[in-house]
């Protein structure tokens, strides 16, 4: 099975949409990558990854990575091919 990213359309007036970078991080989380690996792959610091995750958890109303990935599938941001 292959995992695909679906970038949600940014809708006017919708302030809680995930950014393209947050979607990339969510995709890597779904592939079971740790923060250090995500930082390395995206050429950003681990602190930046943590910041993106924190913002993403708030927007998705979850507390952990598993919840974020589950919500990504529920919202159609992540899809199996």
d(CA 67, CA 64): 5
pLDDT of residue 11: 44
Q: What is the pTM assigned to this prediction?
A: 0.80
- In the chain, domain spans: 3-7+20-80
Kindly give the confidence (pLDDT) of every residue in the chain, 81 residues in length, as a single tens digit, with 9 standing for 90 and above: 455 555 555 444 444 689 999 999 999 999 999 999 999 999 999 999 999 999 999 999 999 999 999 999 998 889 887
Nearest one of 57, 80, 54 to 67, comparing CA atoms: 57
**Architecture of the domain spanning 3-7+20-80:** Orthogonal Bundle (1.10)
């Amino acid at each position: 099975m292959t995992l695909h990213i679906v970038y949600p359309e940014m809708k006017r007036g919708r302030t809680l949409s995930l950014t393209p970078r947050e979607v990339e991080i969510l995709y890597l989380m779904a592939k079971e990558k740790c923060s250090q690996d995500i930082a390395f792959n995206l050429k950003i610091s681990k602190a930046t990854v943590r910041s993106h995750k924190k913002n993403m958890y708030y927007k998705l109303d979850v507390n952990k990575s598993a919840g974020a990935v589950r919500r990504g599938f529920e919202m159609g941001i992540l899809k199996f091919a």
